[in-house]
Every structure is written in C-alpha cells, then in structure tokens.
Amino acid sequence: MKKRNISLALLLALVFVVLFPTNAQASKYLSGNSYAKEAKTHVIAKKTVKVYKVKTGTYEAKNIAYNYGTIKRGTAFYRSGYLMSTGGYIVKSGKYYHNSRTFFIVPQTNANWCTKYSRNFVIWNKSMKLFNTKRKTSNAWIYSKPGGKKLHYLKNYPRTIWIATRHEKIESGAIYYYVHSKHGSAKGWVWRGNVKRI
C-alpha cells in the first residue's frame, strides 16, 4: 500500500512538472537583461558605429545578431567593460534598450571608438565669419579649451575688443567661441553667453 502511494505521488509530481514547469525550466533562453547589466561604463562615441540587435538563444553560440542602426559621434550611452567572446561590446541607452530576450552590441574589436563621458566632449568645431565682441560679464574666464585651464579673467579686460574666429559645441550643449584680442596676444575659448557682438 505504501509503495503504491509513493508511486502515485511520484507520478503526480512528474505530471505537475511537465504541465506546470518552474521558472528555471521555462526560461530556456539566455537573458537579454543579464547581458545588458554588464553595460555599466558611461561613455561617448568618438565616431559613428553600427549597432546590432541580438536575440538570445539557448546558449551563446545560438544568439542571433542583425543590423539595427547606428550610434552617432557625440552620443552618450553605457558600454560593457569587456569585449564579448563573440566580438563586440554590449551597449544600452534610451534608444537601445534591452528586454528578456534581446540586447544590443557594437561589433568593434577595440574600445577606440568611444571615450569616457565628459560634459566638455567636443561635438563639432567649425570656422565662422569673423566678428568683434566685448565682454558681457566681468566675472568670467577665457580658457585653453572648454573646461580647460583658465587663461584670462575678463574683469582684467574692460575695454578689449575680442575677435571671434571659430565656434564649437560641447556635450553639455554649450557653445564656445575661439577669440583673440584685437590689439594684443591674449586668446582662448569663451562661452558665448559671456560676450556680446559689437
């Protein structure tokens, strides 16, 4: 009788496992969320690169990647700190966001396509038509580069005319002018909000 009850209990347990698999049995695919957790390093793209969407398989060799889009130069995002064995870095951002079955990679074999995040990263740098400026506020500086070494305190240049020759936009969204003094050797980068055209 006991043997029969034990056999019946084992049979019922087997039927339950087959009909109602546990989470461990049900999740036979690798987790896209687990992959994406590795993208912890905040970086900026130094050049435009292709992005691939990866659909997870039952093991890594079964993952399927296909061309999905690009990350453009100047885009901030998160990247894994290591190169995947299948080639590429795991990435995530607002546009490239993972789920339980998908994640994104940039198929590069080195990390030279991106750099550590900085609000002073230069998005673009262009020449422009020359124009004269004066200081708009005295409590400001001219720098060697945006966020760089302080060179000239505008308070010390009350009547100086500054000639703007270039402008550049940095990651923070600020635009700086490259200026040099009209009758002197002072030069550098100044935030455009601190000077005015004359």
Q: What is the CATH number of the domain that holds 129?
A: 2.30.30
Q: pTM of this prediction?
A: 0.73
In angstroms and rounded to an integer, the radius of gyration of the C-alpha atoms of the chain is: 29
Give the domain range for residue 110. 26-116
Measured CA to CA in angstroms, residue 112 lies from 10, 33, 49, 65, 115 at distances of 58, 26, 11, 22, 7
Q: Note whether 148 and 165 are same-domain residues.
A: yes
pLDDT digits (tens, 9 = 90+) for 80-131: 988 887 678 999 998 999 999 999 999 987 778 999 999 999 999 999 999 9
Q: Note whether 53 and 103 are same-domain residues.
A: yes
Residue of 101, 104, 190 lying closest to 146 (CA atoms): 190
* End residue of a domain, out of 65, 84, 116: 116
